Amino acid sequence: MTSNLAAVSYGVNLSPESLDKVRKTLAEAGAAVSSESQGGDDRFGVHTAALLVGGDTAADLGSMRRLVAESAEAGVDTVLVPEALRQASRKLLIMDVDSTLIQQEVIELLAAHAGKREEVAAVTEAAMRGELDFAQSLHARVAVLAGLPAAVVDSVRQEVRLSLGAAELVAAFKEAGHVVAVVSGGFNQILGPIADQLGLDYWIANELEIVDGALTGKVLGAVIDRAAKEKYLREWAAAEGISLEHTIAVGDGANDLDMLSAAGIGVAFNAKPAVRAVADAVITMPYLDAVRHIANV
């Protein structure tokens, strides 16, 4: 048997006891630990165990992940990652934007200027839980912005804050020669400057229509929905000659589900329950750069 998986544990409460629990669960699932290493910083700890797994690893991976997730202690998450992804010379990282790359939901910041923040936030929550069609919900939310001066977009742009560790995550992937992309159900007018600042390789979002210096309450062109997010993942990976097995997708809402499913590793970042339930990896702390440790970057 060769080491074909890694168990990466991370959390603000990473303790010897929590790691013993992970080891016990892995042993019960038939995985033997061949080596271990420690990492992290003063924000969170990281523990990586190389695993020896026999049989059909791909078939067993889903059940092993479920066992590890079910036995996890609060404040500690563990993901099982194929070594083929961790050791790949080139990888593609693709991320959602609102509540993932950035801390806010831009549509809610815009709606606040129209006095409609609570109304729009309720629709956003329902859409991210998968209870509403995303495209229909986006059109309904953008409609309340009709008549706002275009200058509001500039004001909102100043309110946006990157998630903790986001800049460091992107810089690490770029420095190592990997590809970084973002795909958003938000808006180009907000995302463009962020993409330039971070030096992203690919990015796309929706385009707010602006006529005579005011928002019309409409978006131009096809909406970036869950199907579009998966489509761009596949297109950009193909353009870079990177197999899907060597891609990492990160998101928080139902709009990200297809993208997370198609990627080599789908990461739910402080996500809605429906997303956490099906993602390959879960991050429940506010530090986006935990993805570095999952991907071995």
Contact between 284 and 271 (Cβ < 8 Å): no
User: Buried b / exposed e across 210-240, counting CB within 10 Å, b at 16+?
Assistant: beeebbbbebeeebbbbebbbbbbeebbeeb
Residue corresponding to tokens 């859409």: 127
Annotation marks residue 98 as catalytic: yes
C-alpha distance from residue 84 to each of 10, 15, 99, 245, 274 (Å):
20, 28, 29, 8, 28
Pairing of strands 3-11, 45-52: antiparallel
**CA atoms of 25 and 45, how far apart (whole Å):** 20
- Return the number of other C-beta atoms located less than 10 Å from residue 59's C-beta: 8
**CA atoms of 245 and 233, how far apart (whole Å):** 12
Q: Which tokens hold the place of 23?
A: 């080891």
What share of residues in the chain are helix, strand, coil (percent, to 5)? Answer: 45, 25, 30
Choosing from 42, 56, 96, 280, the catalytic residue is 96
Nearest to 274 by CA among 261, 287, 260, 257: 257
Choosing from 98, 201, 252, 289, the catalytic residue is 98
| CA-based end-to-end distance of the chain | 25
Annotation marks residue 96 as catalytic: yes
Tell me the sheet residues that pair with 8.
48, 79
- Just list the catalytic residues: 96, 98
